[in-house]
Amino acid sequence: MSLLAVENLRVTFPTRQGPSEVVRGVCFTLGRERLGIVGESGSGKSQTGRALLGLTPAPGWASADRLEFDGTDLRSLSARDWRRLRGKRMSMVMQDPKFSLNPVMAVGKQLMEVLRIHGAGRAEARRAALEMLEAVQIRDPERVFRAYPHELSGGMGQRVMIAMMLVSAPDLLIADEPTSALDVTIQIEVLRILDKLVSERGMGLIFISHDLRLVSSFCDRVLVMYAGRVVEELRAADLGQARHPYTQGLLNCLPQIDGDRRPLPVLNREASWAE
């Protein structure tokens, strides 16, 4: 049974030349699995993730023939209904934690707020927040709990943001470059946490990334996006056997340790891929 069903998702922004679609006709289903979305910057990955949570920034708008989460039609939700879903059952790790965390609120209070809004007591929320900070490999969770975002490094802020999105154990997590600012060892620990939630709790994960090698080893399936469209969908284990020339071009641009790569490969783009 699918947790999320998306048909003909489109995200549009007004411009001086008229409406511009940045996501065009995206279709996929998500079970309780790890789905990777890859592509270049500007391909529509992040806007797709935001649209799924009703977070398309104004004056843009999102539309779809079907947008259903666990039997709920997301297209008809009120602002109140969205608040009930976000944080508790659906969460998103944003790409830049420095702009996602509230600069005038202590980290611990922000983590507790997620649980308090959905009915947890103060003591329970504090305990869960500290446990999650420790789970994302923060050595002194009590200090970070009392700290403000500007007192944290980029990697530390990223871990706090991941902890905030995971503290309520959501059914669907959209992770937009969740490990980009982390050291390799911390990256592995965070991926273990995500993998545990998917395998043990049955969470659905949409993992947005530029790192094709990471996606191929961590995810179950992969969507490849180009110019707002999905150009290829395949099993992550089969990413090396991709058929679409765009996916092949992305793979060819990955650095190789062995062998001479001269001239350096260039990613060729065809206008027909965006049609």
The model's confidence at residue 25, banded by pLDDT at 50, 70 and 90, is: very high
Is residue 157 over pLDDT 70?
yes
Whether the predicted pLDDT of 266 surpasses 80: no
User: Is the pLDDT assigned to residue 48 strictly greater than 90?
Assistant: yes
pLDDT of residue 87: 82
Residues of the chain with pLDDT > 70: what percent? 97
Between residues 158 and 113, which one has the greater pLDDT?
Answer: 113
| Average pLDDT of the segment spanning 83-93 | 87
Question: What percent of the chain stands above pLDDT 90?
Answer: 48
Paired sense of beta strands 66-69 and 72-73, if any: antiparallel
> How is residue 161 written in tokens?
């943001």
Tell me the average pLDDT of the chain.
Answer: 88
pLDDT over 90 at 182, yes or no = no
Tokens of 19: 């409406």
> What average pLDDT does range 56-73 have in this prediction?
94
pLDDT tens-place string over residues 203-252: 899 999 988 888 998 999 999 999 999 999 999 999 888 999 989 888 88
Torsion angle, alpha carbons of 251, 252, 257, 258, to 10: 130
Report pLDDT for 17: 92
| Length of the chain (residues) | 275
Cis-peptide into 19, omega within 30 deg: no
Say if residues 204 and 32 touch (Cβ distance below 8 Å): yes
| Amino acid at position 218, single letter | F
Listed residue (216, 261, 218) closest to 239, CA to CA: 216
- Asked whether the predicted pLDDT for residue 14 surpasses 90, the reply is yes
Model confidence at 190: pLDDT above 90:
no
Residue 239, beta-bridge partner list? none
Q: How confident is the model at residue 61 (pLDDT cuts 50, 70, 90)?
A: very high
- The arithmetic mean of pLDDT across residues 157-167, rounded, is 85
Q: Which two tokens stand for residue 195?
A: 């993998």
Whole-angstrom distance, CA of residue 83 vs CA of residue 132: 22
pLDDT for 26: 96
The predicted structure's pLDDT at residue 97: 64
Quote the pTM value: 0.89
Torsional class of 35: left (φ above 0), alpha (ψ -120 to 50), beta (otherwise): beta
Nearest to 87 by CA among 151, 164, 146, 184: 164
With a CB cutoff of 8 Å and minimum separation 6, the contacts of 230 are 26, 27, 28, 223, 224
Q: What is the pLDDT of residue 72?
A: 93
What is the reported pLDDT for 151? 92
pLDDT tens-digit profile of 89-141? 999 888 776 678 889 999 999 999 888 888 788 999 999 999 999 888 888 99
Looking at per-residue pLDDT, the higher value among 49 and 264 belongs to: 49
Handedness of CA 61, 64, 70, 74 (dihedral sign): positive
At 272, is the pLDDT very low, low, confident or very high (cuts 50, 70, 90)?
Answer: confident
Question: 3-class DSSP state for residue 23?
Answer: strand
Instruction: Please give the C-alpha separations between residue 171 and each of 16, 53, 96, in angstroms, as whole numbers.
Output: 40, 13, 23
- Report phi then psi at 234, rounded to 5: -160, 165
Q: Residue 3: which residues within 8 A CB-CB, separation 6 or more?
A: 30, 31, 32, 69, 70, 171, 172, 204
Nearest to 178 by CA among 119, 265, 97: 97
In this model, does residue 273 exceed pLDDT 80? no
